[in-house]
Structure 1
């Protein structure tokens, strides 16, 4: 159950951070306005709180592992939202990152 909770928190963190950054991008680069940027800033702030609910108490470990989730999540966001088509090496890289997440967060500790 702890691993499932941790994975769900990683997904929620990715949605908040990637979505927040996307909203800022849309507000600024696509000229959608300050409300988009403000919503993005709020989402980015929410991301900061989500990480604190991870079962592991080590900030560095959680954030290091989240980096891999961010990589894979960013590609997934691009596919779903921006209709981006990742290439083979994008997918290989994301897979390597997710393996890193598993090793960093869920490997047995002695």
Structure 2
């Protein structure tokens, strides 16, 4: 369930940040900020649903999911195909996120 929550949180964060990008960098209307802010609020709420004992660990693990999701956003929304270094970096980050989230912990 955590993986699904992280994926939804990543989409919400990237969409919210993209709304600001569109407003400031692509000369879109300031009305883009309304769904952007709502999306960023959704992102923050979703992270609170992750089953983790400590917020810092949940946030650190999320970082890997975010990076992979950002590369997917680049490919699907912006139409830019990730190169081999993007893919390798995303895989390393995803592995790191898995270690942080599911690594064995001392009691």
Could you tell me the TM-score, scaled by structure 2's length? Answer: 0.94
Structure 2 residue 64 is the aligned partner of structure 1 residue 93? no
CA distance in 2 between counterparts of 1:69 and 1:88 reads: 18
* Moved beyond 2 Å, runs of 4+: none
8 Å contact 1:65–1:105 — kept in the other structure? yes
Structure 2: segments with no counterpart, 5+ residues: none
The answer to which structure has the higher helix fraction is 1
Three-state SS of the structure 2 residue aligned to 1:83 is coil
What CA RMSD, in Å, does the superposition of the two structures yield over aligned residues? 0.9
Residue 82 of structure 1: how far off its partner (Å):
0.3
C-alpha contact 1:20 1:42 (8 A) present in aligned 2: yes
Q: Structure 1: 5+ residue runs without aligned partners?
A: none
Match of 2:69 in 1: 73
- Report how many aligned residue pairs link the two structures: 106
